[in-house]
């Protein structure tokens, strides 16, 4: 492993006259990005250029405190330290095995406010991150507003979802001019008219409130932190830092989806040996609830019965899946579970779910149950049972738990220390800490977590590798729920927005796309080949085969791809990318020499021409191609699929015709 950590210089920059300079400038390792940080009469600011293009015009830094202490105006640059860093580190699981972390850092100390304020910038070739290092003198104070700005120099288009609406992150993305954004969740992504692509987000959201970006004037945004129950934003402690504010910048859309900047800005693994964290594929007692065939609650349609769980375990064992998700096994689902979070028990099963027998059966078949903790947003109730809940699952041999926080934004229930019930946001400071409490309690029992209705991902899987996946956007379930479902464009926007933050448990693999007899009028707006392509395109280390077992057993030929595709990769390469139009990934299996390709399009049918130059030279491969067939179209003919096998090598191109709402999935296996 390469590890060069070299401090270039520690500078106190003096002008000829001996006065402190107004600004500092650094360039990224290969020189493509330039960062200027300084202070003028309006306060501290930064600015970013990519080659000759000014991308971010001077933008303010700073924050306001409840005490009235000032960290915005009247600041000067008192000190600046620069260091170069170049290290390659290993991901225990991920889109690639090795990640290069190569940046130039500028640590600026501003003086003149209530105390000195340090701002740490890390400039990469594909963007930057910066964070505030708060002085200990303000421990106990509260941030009432963060003033960080993102001021775009030129016009462009934004893809975004509105922040602080009731459904959290579960909205269809809007595509508008920059000036038409109101307040957006991050990641929010931009294609500037110059062709430069930018995405705003944050990394390492710990003990702080999530940041949305509010459009103020022109093309300027300001940070807007999720409020807390006290009416402020963040309570500060000693040694407090903000999360990293991130700006990913690239010449094209491929550059955005190849960037490891968010992960690089997170702390290394704090859990030690995590060989017990296992990627994999799972099935579950789940889609039936969303289709209305089963219920979470007790009664004649109860899904999580002993016999039904056994049937799923048998199916998983037969077809090589490593887990069965079981929702609705525990007391609390009867009645209005959305509003009754206080009555969930996380240890008491319904009488028709036999814990002892299912523990025995799942061990015998070698297929662990994937646990489920739906809190309905009552985090107080959950935290009071959490240790016992994970103890029970540990005894049952459960190694993965899906958590759920179904509640409107701002409607998380908890108790204060003096027992007063209060409400919080899913992305507030309290919840940023709650999720880490869950990860640590789970890690003690070698359990990994997949959170639904989560706080957004900010790369914390690097620090806590048992945070396997999460939802945090509209997943497959929206296709079962009615109008509007997920239109074909949704999944060609997600890779450039939500998925820049990390893995998503989208739950692909629906083969009965019309669900006609169950949900008349509802559609999964996709072809069958696109469903297969999702396993490669929409990265997650755990992938569900979400449909009912009978729909797979009736379609064993396309099902073979789901059985074959791995969920842990040695390498990932973006082959085609245009936000809202199409995206293609090639990924290499971490445990074999096979490569996989997933290619998807939105509404427009298109032909993609994919060079196979990433394959090993001199090696021949068998390409197993699953592509939209003649006349395929998500609306009129979603099931037309061609399954073709042919030999290819590194010098070949694959030319694939994708239907409207369609896609292609390819497995490339070396020929011995």
Task: Give catalytic residue positions.
Answer: 477
Residues 428-467 that bind ligand NOJ (CB under 6 A): 452
Q: Report if residue 413 touches ligand NOJ, rule: CB under 6 A.
A: no
User: Does residue number 406 form part of the binding site for ligand NOJ (CB under 6 A)?
Assistant: yes
- Helix/strand/coil (H, E, C) string of 257-295? HCCCHHHHCCCCCCCCCCCCCCCEEEEEECHHHHHCCCE
**Whole-angstrom Cα distance, residue 635 to residue 615?**
35
Residues in 132-171 that interact with ligand NOJ by CB under 6 A: none
- Nearest residue (CB) to ligand NOJ, 32 versus 406: 406
Given a contact cutoff of 8 angstroms between Cβ atoms, the answer to whether 5 and 87 are in contact is yes
Report residue 63 as tokens: 């924050």
Task: Give dist(CA 265, CA 420) in Å, integer.
Answer: 37
45 CB contacts (<8 Å, ≥6 apart)? Answer: 37, 38, 39, 58, 59, 60, 61
Looking at beta carbons only, is 452 or 582 nearer to ligand NOJ?
452
**Nearest by Cα to 287 from 569, 602, 547, 608:** 547
Burial of 287 (0-12, 13-18, 19+ CB in 10 A): buried
Please give the helix or strand (H or E) that residue 255 lies within, else none.
Answer: helix 253-257
Select 293 or 644, whichever has its Cβ closest to ligand NOJ.
293
For residue 240, give Cα distances in angstroms to 10, 80, 107, 267, 279.
Answer: 23, 20, 16, 15, 33
Shortest CB 173 distance to ligand NOJ, Å: 18
Q: Tell me the H-state helices in 320-464.
A: 355-365, 379-395, 429-444
Closest CB to ligand NOJ among residues 105, 477:
477
Beta-bridge partner residues of 45: 38, 60
Structure tokens at 376: 């309905």
Nearer to ligand NOJ, 146 or 327 (CB): 327
Nearer to ligand NOJ, 27 or 340 (CB): 340
**Cα separation of 96 and 588, whole Å?**
8
Task: Decide: is 477 part of the binding site for ligand NOJ (CB under 6 A).
Answer: yes
Number of residues that bind ligand NOJ (CB under 6 A): 8
> Which residue, 66 or 456, is less far from ligand NOJ as judged by CB?
456
Query: According to the binding rule CB under 6 A, does residue 547 interact with ligand NOJ?
Result: no
Least separation, in Å, of the C-beta of 585 and ligand NOJ? Answer: 24
User: Whole-number minimum distance, CB 477 to ligand NOJ, in Å?
Assistant: 6
The smaller minimum CB distance to ligand NOJ, of residues 107 and 480, is found at: 480
Rounded to 5 degrees, what angle do the CA atoms 134, 189, 578 make?
A: 150
Task: Name the minimum Å distance from CB 288 to ligand NOJ.
Answer: 10
CA 390 to chain centre: 24
**Is the torsion defined by CA of 476, 482, 488, 494 positive or negative?**
negative
Question: How are beta strands 369-374 and 324-326 bridged, if at all?
Answer: parallel
Cβ 475 to ligand NOJ shortest distance, Å: 6
Does 374 engage in binding with ligand NOJ (CB under 6 A)?
yes
Could you tell me the smallest distance in angstroms from the CB atom of residue 412 to ligand NOJ?
A: 15
Q: 3-class SS at 435?
A: helix
Q: Which of 156, 404, 459, 508 binds ligand NOJ (CB under 6 A)?
A: 404
- 65 vs 161 by CB, closer to ligand NOJ: 161
Q: In the set 126, 411, 427, 471, which binds ligand NOJ (CB under 6 A)?
A: 471
The distance of Cα 591 from the centroid of its chain, to the nearest Å, equals 24
Alpha carbon 559 to its chain centroid, in Å, reads: 26
Please name which of 235, 215, 213 lies closest in space to residue 456, comparing C-alpha atoms: 213
Nearer to ligand NOJ, 42 or 481 (CB): 481
Encoded one letter per residue, x for contact with ligand NOJ by CB under 6 A and - for no contact, window 626-665 reads ----------------------------------------
Q: Please pick, from the candidates 24, 141, 224, 327, the single residue that binds ligand NOJ as defined by CB under 6 A.
A: 327
Residue 464 CB, nearest distance to ligand NOJ (Å)?
21
Q: Which residues contact 270 (CB under 8 A, 6 or more apart)?
A: 463, 464
Strand spans (E) along 484-581: 542-544, 569-578
- Binding pattern for the stretch 270-309 against ligand NOJ, x by CB under 6 A and - elsewhere: ----------------x-----------------------
Contact code string over 219-248 relative to ligand NOJ, x by CB under 6 A: ------------------------------
How far is residue 378's CA from residue 112's CA, in Å, rounded to a whole number?
44
Q: How far is the CB of 452 from ligand NOJ (least distance, A)?
A: 4
Provide, rounded to whole angstroms, the least separation between the CB of residue 271 and ligand NOJ: 26
Q: How far is the CB of 289 from ligand NOJ (least distance, A)?
A: 6
Classify the C-alpha dihedral 654-659-661-662 as positive or negative.
Answer: negative
In the complex, which residues of this chain contact ligand NOJ (CB under 6 A)?
286, 327, 374, 404, 406, 452, 471, 477
């Amino acid at each position: 492993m390469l590890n060069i950590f070299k401090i270039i210089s520690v500078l106190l920059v003096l002008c000829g006259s001996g006065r402190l300079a107004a600004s500092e400038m650094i360039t990224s390792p290969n020189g493509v990005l330039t960062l200027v940080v300084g202070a003028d009469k309006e306060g501290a600011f930064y600015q970013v250029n990519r080659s000759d293009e000014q991308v971010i015009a001077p933008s303010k830094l700073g924050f306001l405190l409840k005490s009235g202490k000032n960290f915005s105006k009247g600041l000067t640059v008192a000190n600046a330290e620069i260091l170069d860093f170049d290290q390659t580190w290993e991901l225990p699981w991920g889109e690639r095995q090795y990640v290069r972390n190569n940046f130039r850092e500028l640590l600026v100390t501003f003086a003149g406010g209530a105390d000195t304020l340090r701002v740490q910038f890390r400039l990469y070739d594909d963007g930057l991150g910066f964070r505030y290092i708060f002085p200990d003198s303000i421990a106990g104070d509260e941030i009432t507003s963060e003033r960080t700005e993102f001021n775009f120099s030129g016009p462009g288009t934004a893809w975004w979802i509105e922040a602080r609406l009731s459904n959290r992150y579960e909205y269809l993305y809007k595509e508008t001019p920059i000036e038409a954004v109101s307040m957006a969740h991050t990641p929010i992504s931009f294609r500037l008219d110059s062709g430069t692509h930018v995405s705003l987000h944050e990394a390492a959201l710990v003990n702080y409130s999530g940041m949305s970006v509010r459009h103020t004037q022109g093309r300027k945004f300001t940070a807007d932190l999720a409020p807390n129950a006290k009416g402020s934003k963040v309570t500060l402690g000693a040694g407090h830092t903000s999360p990293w504010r991130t700006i990913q910048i690239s010449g094209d859309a491929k550059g955005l989806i190849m960037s490891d900047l968010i992960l690089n800005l997170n702390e290394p693994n704090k859990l030690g040996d995590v060989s017990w964290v296992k990627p994999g594929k799972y099935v579950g007692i789940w889609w039936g609830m969303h289709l209305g065939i089963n219920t979470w609650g007790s009664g004649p349609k109860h899904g999580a019965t002993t016999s039904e769980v056994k049937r799923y375990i048998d199916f998983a064992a037969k077809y090589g899946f490593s887990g069965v998700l079981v929702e609705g096994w525990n007391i609390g689902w009867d009645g209005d579970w959305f509003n009754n979070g206080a009555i969930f028990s996380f240890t008491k099963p319904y009488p028709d779910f036999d814990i002892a027998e299912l523990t025995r059966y799942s061990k015998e078949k070698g297929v662990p149950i994937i646990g489920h903790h739906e809190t309905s947003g009552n985090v107080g109730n959950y935290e009071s049972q959490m240790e016992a809940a994970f103890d029970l699952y540990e005894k049952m041999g459960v190694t993965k738990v899906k958590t759920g926080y179904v509640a409107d934004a701002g409607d998380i229930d908890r108790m204060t220390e003096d027992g007063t019930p209060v409400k919080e946001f899913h992305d507030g400071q309290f919840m940023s800490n709650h999720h880490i409490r869950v990860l640590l309690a789970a890690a003690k029992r070698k359990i990994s977590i997949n959170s639904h209705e989560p706080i957004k991902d900010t790369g914390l899987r690097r620090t806590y590798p048992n945070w396997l996946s999460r939802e945090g956007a509209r997943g497959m379930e929206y296709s079962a729920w009615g109008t509007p479902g997920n239109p074909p464009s949704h999944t060609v926007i997600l890779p450039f927005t939500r998925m820049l933050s990390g893995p998503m448990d989208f739950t692909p693999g629906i083969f009965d796309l019309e669900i006609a007899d169950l949900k008349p009028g509802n559609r999964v707006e996709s072809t069958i080949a696109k469903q297969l392509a999702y396993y490669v395109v929409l990265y997650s280390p755990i992938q569900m085969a979400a449909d009912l077992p009978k729909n797979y057993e009736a379609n064993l030929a396309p099902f073979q791809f789901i059985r074959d595709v791995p969920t842990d990769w040695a390498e990932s390469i973006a082959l085609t990318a245009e936000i809202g139009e199409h995206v293609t990934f090639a990924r290499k299996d971490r445990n074999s020499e096979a490569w996989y390709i997933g290619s998807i399009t939105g509404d427009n049918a298109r032909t993609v021409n994919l060079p196979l130059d990433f394959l090993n030279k001199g090696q021949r491969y068998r390409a197993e191609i699953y592509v939209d067939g003649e006349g395929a179209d998500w609306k009129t003919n979603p099931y037309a699929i061609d399954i073709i096998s042919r030999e290819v090598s590194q010098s070949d191109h694959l030319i694939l015709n994708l239907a409207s709402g369609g896609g292609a999935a390819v497995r490339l296996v070396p020929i011995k």
